[in-house]
Each structure stands twice: as C-alpha cells, then as structure tokens.
Amino acid sequence: MSLELVDVSVQFHRSGRTPVPAVVGVSLHVDPSCILGLVGESGSGKSSLGRAAVGVYRPSHGQVLFNGEPVRHLGALARPRNQIGLQMVFQNPFESLNPRRRIGSQILDGMTRSGMSRKARLKRMTESLEQLGLPARAAGRYPHQFSGGQRQRIAIARALAVAPSIMVLDEPLASLDASAQAQLANTLRVLADDQHVGMLLISHDLAIVRHVADQLAVMYLATIVESGPTADVWSLPLHPYTEALIGAIPTADGKGQLPIALTGEVGDPAAPPSGCRFHPRCPYAREKCVRETPPLLDIAPGRKVACWLHRPGRTLRPPAEQDPGDLGAPISLPHGQDVLAHTGGLTTT
C-alpha cells in the first residue's frame, strides 16, 4: 500500500508564453506508517507535485503508482474505487469545504464509493472527527462555525474517513498558531503510528516538519536536491540549500542554527539558471556548477544529494568542509553573501 512517484514532471502550458515546468524529474516513495516531509520555499513546486501524486494533475512525464497501479488522472471524474485509499488534503481547506453544507454530509460524501453501509459510514464519520479531536456533534454544523485550525482538522477528518493508506497533506500546519500546530503535528504522528497511514507532508516550515517526519525531501526550483532520514539530514545537511534552510531556523537565543545566510529568490521555473539551479544563491558555487547540472545521487545508505561537492564514496561532511577538487574557481555571488556571516534569519526577498 505505497505511493511511488517515478521521474515525475509537471508542466503548465500558458497561451503564447513559455510553459512552466513546475516539477522536473522527481522520484519519491511513501510507505505506510511513514511521514515523508516535502519542504522548500514558496514556488518550489510542492503543491504541483502533491497534486500530481493524487491524480489532480496529469504528469507531463513519469509515472505515479499507488499499490503498484498507475494513479488515474481525475479530471472531473471521481476517484476509482481501487484508489480510494489515496487521499489529499488541499492547501486551502476553506476552499475545499462547501460553506453551505453541514460538515457531516461533506464527510459522508467522500465515503459514497467506499462500499460501506450507511450505518458503517455514520460510525466511521464520528470516529474520524474524534480522531482529529472534534466532537461528534460537529457533524451537524457548518464550516463557518469553526476556527481555522478546526476547519483544517475537519478537512483531514474527511480524508481520513475513507480509511486511506496514504494521505497527501498540503501545508496542513500553515496558518495555525504554535500550539495548534504542535497538537495537529502530534495527531498526524499518532495516525501514522497507530493506523499505519503513510503521509506526504508538504510544508515550507522545516522547523515543524522535522519533529513529525521520518524522512525529508528538500525541493528547490522544481527538483529534489536532498533526501534522507530526518534526523540525519537535520544533523548533517549535505546540500547548501538544506544547510541554509536549517541555518535560518532561529534558536532560543534568536540566532540561526547554522552560520549560513541565504539571500535572493527561488527564481522562475520557466527560466531556471544554467547548471545547478541553486548556483546564483550558493555560497560554495564554482565554475562547474554554472555549466553542469549535478545529478541526484545516492551518497550514503538512505541519503541522496544533488551537489557537485558530494560524491559517493566520499566521507560525509558539511559543504564548507568538502574539498571542491576539480570544480574550478569560486564564482562571485550576485548578493555579496558571506558564508561565515551569522545572520540568524533567512532572507528570501
């Protein structure tokens, strides 16, 4: 009961303009009970990838498999019965809940094709609300009668009601206050551990995701640049972008976790930089980085990285400690970054 993405690309066509390759060649898999955190800045392609993973977008290349079967492009169609165990909670649950219908009816709708009797569906609806910490009486109310955090939980309860084996959750923790975030993160962990639900957890907030995800995949400008077990990536980020994301997370004293600054913007996927897409922002960039695209390589058991500084067989070291070898001369950065400048914050604009 796993979800597998094999070399998936998603391209948006715009009349009279260059197409936007929002996702390029991404391979990932999500197993039951496992939470895979997909992190990256705004515009990196996380939602596009999540939507392709559940059949909302048709990949322009590659394949998405659920339980070994190709995931059908949904269009206006309902999800086929053999794929009902694959569910998505969209980035904005306020848009996906119908304001004029009671919560209970909306949860029951999702179960229509589950094959369950009405009595079983009612029981399951109550259970899923309760699993998300909502009272059974919530079923009789309308979306506007709930807070933002509660509506997020309702959207998850609706997906959970069909007893999915895999859920794709797009920014479920965004726009919640810190305590609601922590509570919901705990709930997701319990669902993974106790009900063996596998999750692709999309978030721009690595600080929260690292507490709940077993595995991390870091996305930059449509591609995955690093992946591996969360604890390993957190303790030794290999890609300079991952290092910068972690460096930007403030510690209790207000400084960053690592002495790394990141300036500039993600960029336009329709006109990505040559070579390594991260090179215009990378403090370690060298001549080869501008010319050649680093492939995503297995660098150690369970760990992949796309950066010329790391090669299979080399000792794992932070980017600053890797020998650049034959990568050529350093290139100057447009933003005048100083690798050793401790900024204590991520500048993305």
Ligand X SMILES: Nc1ncnc2c1ncn2[C@@H]1O[C@H](COP(=O)(O)OP(=O)(O)OP(=O)(O)O)[C@@H](O)[C@H]1O
Query: Residue numbers of the site for ligand SF4 (CB under 6 A)?
Result: 239-240, 276, 278-279, 282, 284-285, 289, 294, 307-309
Distances in whole angstroms, Cα of residue 288 to Cα of each of 216, 285, 293, 298, 310: 27, 8, 9, 20, 13
Using the minimum distance from each CB to ligand X, give the nearer residue, 164 or 269: 269
Using the minimum distance from each CB to ligand SF4, give the nearer residue, 20 or 307: 307
The phi and psi torsions of 217 (rounded to 5 degrees) equal -130, 130
Q: Which of 9, 47, 152, 165 binds ligand X (CB under 6 A)?
A: 47
d(CA 57, CA 90): 13
Residue 8 in contact with ligand X, rule: CB under 6 A: no
Q: Are 225 and 242 in contact (CB under 8 A)?
A: yes
Smallest separation, CB 285 to ligand SF4 (Å)? 4
Smallest separation, CB 22 to ligand X (Å)? 3
Residue 48 in contact with ligand X, rule: CB under 6 A: yes
Smallest separation, CB 307 to ligand SF4 (Å)? 3
Residue 281 in contact with ligand X, rule: CB under 6 A: no
- One symbol per residue from 251 to 270: x for binding ligand X (CB under 6 A), - otherwise; what is it? ------------------x-
Using the minimum distance from each CB to ligand SF4, give the nearer residue, 66 or 220: 220
List beta partners, residue 304.
227, 298
What does 308 bind: ligand SF4, Mg ion, ligand X, none (CB cut-off 5 to 8 Å by kind)? ligand SF4
* Three-state secondary structure call for residue 309: coil
List beta partners, residue 61.
9
Distances in whole angstroms, Cα of residue 241 to Cα of each of 306, 323, 336: 10, 18, 17
Q: Are 20 and 244 in contact (CB under 8 A)?
A: no
Residue 22 in contact with ligand X, rule: CB under 6 A: yes
Q: What are the DSSP calls for 154-211, one per residue?
A: HHHHHHHTT--SEEEEESTTTTS-HHHHHHHHHHHHHHHHHH--EEEEEES-HHHHHH
d(CA 76, CA 281): 41
Residue 330 DSSP label: B
Using the minimum distance from each CB to ligand SF4, give the nearer residue, 116 or 320: 320
Stretch of 43-51, 127-135, 139-147, 308-316 lying at the interface with ligand X (CB under 6 A): 43-51
Subset of residues 78 to 97 that bind ligand X, contact rule: CB under 6 A: 91
Q: Which of 9, 11, 44, 47 binds Mg ion (CB under 5 A)?
A: 47
Q: Which of 43, 55, 272, 273 binds ligand X (CB under 6 A)?
A: 43
What does 48 bind: Mg ion, ligand SF4, ligand X, none (CB cut-off 5 to 8 Å by kind)? ligand X
Subset of residues 167 to 226 that bind ligand X, contact rule: CB under 6 A: 204
Number of H helices, E strands in the chain: 10, 12
Q: Are 196 and 33 in contact (CB under 8 A)?
A: yes
Residue 9 in contact with ligand X, rule: CB under 6 A: no
The contact set with Mg ion (CB under 5 A) reads 47
The contact set with ligand X (CB under 6 A) reads 12, 14, 20, 22, 40, 42-48, 91, 204, 269
